[in-house]
Amino acid sequence: MNIVARLAWRNLWRHRRRTWLTVGAMVFSNTLLVFMISMQFGMYDLMIDNTLKVFTGHMQVQAPGYKDDQKMRQTVPDIVPLAGRLRAEFPTEKIAARGWAFALASSEERSYGVGIFGVEPEYEPQVSSIPGLIAEGRYLQQSDAPEIVIGAVLARNLRVGIGDELTLLGSGRDGSFAAAVATVVGIFESGVPDVDRSFAQMPIVAFQDVFFMEGAGHQVVISAPTLEEAERILPDIDAALPSDEGLVMHDWDALQPGLKQAIKADMSSAFFMYGILVVLVAFSVLNTQLMSVLERTHEFGIVMSLGLKPGQLGRLVMLETAMLGLIGFVLGAIGGVIVTSYFSANGLSIPGMEEMAANFNLPPRIYFQATPWTMAIGPFVVFVFTLLAAVYPALRLHKLHPVEAMRVN
Amino acid sequence: MRMLPVLTRLAWRYLWRNHRRTIIMVSAISVGVWSMIFMTALSRGMVDQVIEDGVSALPGHVQVHNPKFLDDPSVVNRIPIGDAELSRAFSSTDFKAWASRVRVPAVIASEYESRGVTLLGIDPVAEREFGYLSYDDVEGRFLEDADDNGIVIGRKLADKLETRVGKRVVLMSQDPDNEIADRGFRIVGLFDAEVPAFEEGNVFIGKRTAQKMLHIGDTTTEIVFLGDNYRDIEPTYDKVLASIDGSLDVSRWSEVATYLGSMLTVMDGFVLIFMVVIFLALSFGLVNTLVMAVFERVREIGLMLALGMKPSNILGQIIIESMLLLLVGLVIGNLLAVATIHPLRGGIDISVVAEGMEMMGAASVLYPRLYVSDMILANVIVLFLGFLASLSPAWRASRYEPVEAITKVG
Amino acid sequence: MTAVRCVDLCKTYRQGDEDIKALDHVSIDIEEAGFVCLSAPSGGGKTTLLNAIGGLDMPDSGEVWVADRRIDQMSKGELAELRLSSIGFVFQAYNLIPVLTARENIEFVMQVQGVPAKQRAEQSLAILEEVGLSGLEDRRPAEMSGGQQQRVAVARAIVSRPALVLADEPTANLDSKTSDELMTLFTELNRHHNTTFVIATHDQRVMRYAKRLVRMLDGRIVDDIAQDAA
Ligand SMILES: Nc1ncnc2c1ncn2[C@@H]1O[C@H](COP(=O)(O)OP(=O)(O)OP(=O)(O)O)[C@@H](O)[C@H]1O
Ligand SMILES: [Mg+2]
């Protein structure tokens, strides 16, 4: 250590309590920032994942306008062969075709309106979590059997079990009356009441028969191994679509526009709080460094009368602050890493939050996202603001005149 | 107590001896307090709106159902008491507003499309008070009475069904014998709602028309009551409990929509945690300031002790100094909060994230809500925790030995 | 009655490896209405003895009695009470509270004692006049000369008419005229109010006013003579 650095280091420890309190403010904020940012991004990941994996997938091929209107007529023609061709061309992606219609489902005792998905039984499990959530019976097997799987709440409301028959009444693609009878072969339970109450799935070929789809469907769902991979491959798949039918490709953000915005809204309120924390730490540092400059006025006066320039003293103050900030950074980051790695391994559950969590498609336990970025960004910003806070005290040194400075005390 | 004026004067003078430090600390406290109140007002605004919209989307602060209805919302599980009897039972009571209605799931079909909806068979006159829809803003007209033969649906639903005022739609549901009950209606009105799900999911027909269609005589599926406001419904709840057949299920809105109820609780917890966290961030600076303030006048503290001041007076003096510092910060912070929230009372346009807010059940304009109770909470937290934080430096100050303090070099 | 009685006081400071005996078996009785000058070379133990008498510092051994009460075993609270009610202090340095004006400094003790505001005002203005500081009542210590500050400290020590005044170099910063005036004031208080004075000083002129002159050297009393006051 050169003499200036040694001087700065010694000065820092003239008031141990003050230095530790200032460092304490940094460590508190840094730990908290790391904790919150990791939790936040862990939560966003889960929100995206959970929302997309239920039905939406990472992207979908649809007829233009279908995304907003969901009309029966807005179809993708020859959807099963199309899905098959895409599967062959993009073997790494999970691809499945679907149709969707609305119908009144009646059992012996009850009638309820439900959304009915026509799905490819062999590929649907790859793009949706629903087939994996069968609680009773089995999932669909053949693509043309008159079978149906329904949600647990719906089954309870309709008072049907495995093997019972449901009558479906709705309108077909051309608006004509559509009716069919299907046997309940499976009951799924996702735990999200809305999902369990309002959906049913049947094999796509049977679906096309019932609703006069003539081979068409409404969406080709595509799931990539990761979100990043999805973004990368989207243009390729888009280019592989038949050019004459005007089909459109939507990414997950277009399909679930609420998701990104909900995240954005949440982020802006979170960052408001982070901002306040950082500002408060900066005040703390400003206070400490200004005190430390003012109480050394006499001393600085002597050194300046010996020929040191205010700029050199200013650098000394900045160096002290940087050391202070560095201690805060390191200790805070360590604290943050400990907390975060605990929660990214064990998860955090907030009592009373389960219901809220379910509403946002979150599991009751949140696992933190521990990446270098989520761990470093908070402490880094605090460090920068720490340095900024020392600028004013450092600049004050320029106002110091040796004689006046020495007269103090 | 006699000492209070002396100590306060000393504390105040000392506070401004090092005015730069005090100003910095006051700024920090003000910013902290401002952020506590401001942030709370915004969050409250959002959550209140979600809850209010949620409450108005299932109108009625207190609701009465057949005990089986909430789990199995079928016309089979209706309330076995007819309207005639209800009117007689409630004619002598003084509820702010009450109504019985038919609410069952149904399917609506135009010539092109069909969708699942909630069918609401209502008496528009009795339900006007509930205020979930402004009848006058409906395109076309709203239902006129319980015998109205028309149907009023949301604009979004009409778009999806490719239909409009004057066109016909078919409504399908089930009657108590599980026969499909269907009936054609002419659309007489289209309504708009803040919350899209409400606009898409509900259709209104006359109550007696619904009863005829579903073959249920003069019975209904729910009876709803309005309290003074959604936070204060206990009196109404008690009155309903007392005046209704014991075999029926009486629930508060927070029980029907448990999600909304728990949101209120979670919000209260969040506000508290947020405030405490901000205070903790502040507390380091506060303690630091006090430690410095004590450190630089050890000698004077020694002098006061030597002159016959008791250690408890020194303790009191430092605590008063801390309280004064906090008070100045609080006053500025509170004023700042009011000054920044007041201009925003007309609402903050957050339509950039409208669909995200919709996902959370909120609308695209955010109205901050400044509750006096939240302001008080922020101030109490700062003063109380600030008091605790000053105990240690104040205690140390009062422990000095007069001679050592006086002869202290430095 | 004796105003102050010290019995066999010892006080040792450790300074590095060597022990400094600031008080070395000091015994002294000071009668009521006594006027004692303590003189010793610098480091002789004057301040240490005054502090022991004032209950500010505990001797290592020995007894201290003030107004026939043994104080070296009193609690801090009792000591504070005693100082407040019956002892006036003038310290060698750092006498005044810097955030208070001259008058507020003088009234400080009375205020702690609970004297009503009107009486405080009268007494403080009167005493300011007596020490020759009329017109300076609203100055803060930083705005006064060393001698003026010293006089404010003296005024504070005597304003509430304590039975015992302990003054450590009260004239250190004063010219001969003002220090004579101050000593005259002390003498009058001593005569009319029977106030006991113990004054530590190097100043020959101050010693002239004393009824009794006590010389110390290296923590021991080496000389104790009665004299006719000037
Ligand atoms: N807190 C202390 N720690 C160590 N030594 C001390 C302390 N206070 C006093 N002493 C020593 O005790 C001895 C007596 O000190 P004291 O202050 O009583 O002298 P004094 O007669 O008042 O001198 P002066 O005329 O310079 O004020 C001195 O040698 C001094 O160095
Ligand atoms: Mg001395």
C122 alpha carbon – ligand 1 mean position (Å):
38
Average of pLDDT values for C175-204? Answer: 90
Helix (H, G, I), strand (E, B) or coil at A72: coil
Q: Which chains touch C (3 or more CB pairs under 8 A)?
A: B
How confident is the model at residue B350, as a pLDDT? 67
Rg (CA), chain B: 31
Chains A and C contact (Cβ–Cβ under 8 Å for 3 or more pairs): no
Q: Which of A107, A171, A258 sits opposite B355 (nearest CB)?
A: A258
Average of pLDDT values for B42-48? Answer: 85
| Contact criterion met (CB below 8 Å) for B51 and B260 | yes
The beta strand positions in A3-110, using DSSP E, are 59-62, 94-106
Angle made by CA atoms A116, A120, A122, in degrees to the nearest 5 = 135
Which ligand does the CA of C44 lie closest to? 1
Mean of per-residue pLDDT scores for chain A: 86
d(CA A92, CA B156) in angstroms, rounded, equals 39
Name the pTM for this structure.
Answer: 0.80
* E strand or H helix that includes residue A20: helix A16-51
d(CA C195, CA C160) in angstroms, rounded, equals 11
**Given the DSSP bridges, would you call strands A147-151 and C61-66 parallel, antiparallel or unpaired?**
unpaired
How confident is the model at residue A283, as a pLDDT? 92
Q: Name the amino acid, one letter, at C1.
A: M
d(CA B256, CA B251) in angstroms, rounded, equals 7
Between A312 and C90, the higher pLDDT residue: C90
d(CA C32, CA C35) in angstroms, rounded, equals 9
> What confidence category does residue B198 fall into, taking pLDDT thresholds of 50, 70 and 90?
confident
CA of C11, closest atom in ligand 1: 12
Flag whether the ipTM exceeds 0.90.
no
| CA-nearest residue, atom 11 of ligand 1 | C22
Q: Which of B304, B310, B313 sits opposite C97 (nearest CB)?
A: B304
Q: Name the amino acid, one letter, at A192.
A: V
Instruction: Give the minimum alpha-carbon distance from A248 to chain B in angstroms, rounded to a whole number.
Output: 20
Q: Which of A103, A175, A286 sits opposite B24 (nearest CB)?
A: A286
Q: Which of C82, C85, C111 sits opposite B6 (nearest CB)?
A: C111
C-beta atoms surrounding C225 within 10 Å: 9
Nearest CA in chain A to B393: A17
Residue corresponding to tokens 């049947």: A202
A385 alpha carbon – ligand 1 mean position (Å):
48
C47 alpha carbon – ligand 1 mean position (Å):
7
Q: Which two tokens stand for residue A200?
A: 């049913």
Question: Domain spanning C2-96+161-226: which superfamily?
Answer: P-loop containing nucleotide triphosphate hydrolases (3.40.50.300)
Average of pLDDT values for A308-332? Answer: 89
**A7-16, A235-244, B55-64, range with the lowest pLDDT:** B55-64
What tens digit of pLDDT does each residue of B272-313 get?
A: 888 999 999 999 999 999 998 898 888 889 888 888 888 899
How confident is the model at residue A160, as a pLDDT? 92
How confident is the model at residue A404, as a pLDDT? 62
Q: Which residues of B touch C77 (CB under 8 A)?
A: 310-311
**Given the DSSP bridges, would you call strands B139-140 and B150-154 parallel, antiparallel or unpaired?**
unpaired
Percent of chain B with pLDDT over 70: 94
Cβ within 8 Å, pair C112-B303 = no
CA of B404, closest atom in ligand 1: 1
How confident is the model at residue B82, as a pLDDT? 87
Who lines ligand 1 at CB under 6 A?
B 407; C 13, 15, 20, 22, 40, 42-48, 92
> What confidence category does residue A352 fall into, taking pLDDT thresholds of 50, 70 and 90?
low
Q: Which residues of B touch A258 (CB under 8 A)?
A: 355-356, 358-359
Q: Name the amino acid, one letter, at B184.
A: G
Would you say residue B15 has pLDDT above 70? Answer: yes
Residue of A26, A70, A261 best to disrupt the B interface, most CBs of B under 10 A: A261
C-beta atoms surrounding A194 within 10 Å: 12
Q: Name the amino acid, one letter, at A44.
A: Y
